[in-house]
Structure 1
């Protein structure tokens, strides 16, 4: 595993082939973490779902406890 550029090889995990006396890149290591903007508002969706389900779940639990 190379963490820095070395002899023309970039950072990553390299695989060596003995028969061909060659190397190939198996996994590349990036200089910085990739960023991906999310198009789904997970937080908003969870709050909306909780607002719908929570009152029903609480009422069901109270009904069972008061029987």
Structure 2
């Protein structure tokens, strides 16, 4: 099945980087978050491109 992922990185400087990309998997992956020295990295998964695009647009305004 095809799912859509939105990768959002919030940098300590205040910069936000957002990417959207397709993911092939048998079941929808779980969304998650990791922290590192430079940023907090979130990956959220969606069933449709439209849902992912709405999340992407919202994240770009952060």
Taking structure 2 as the reference length, the TM-score comes to 0.24
Larger relative contact order (C-alpha < 8 A, sep ≥ 6)? 2
Greater strand share, structure number = 2
Computing the radius of gyration from Cα coordinates, the structure with the larger value is 1
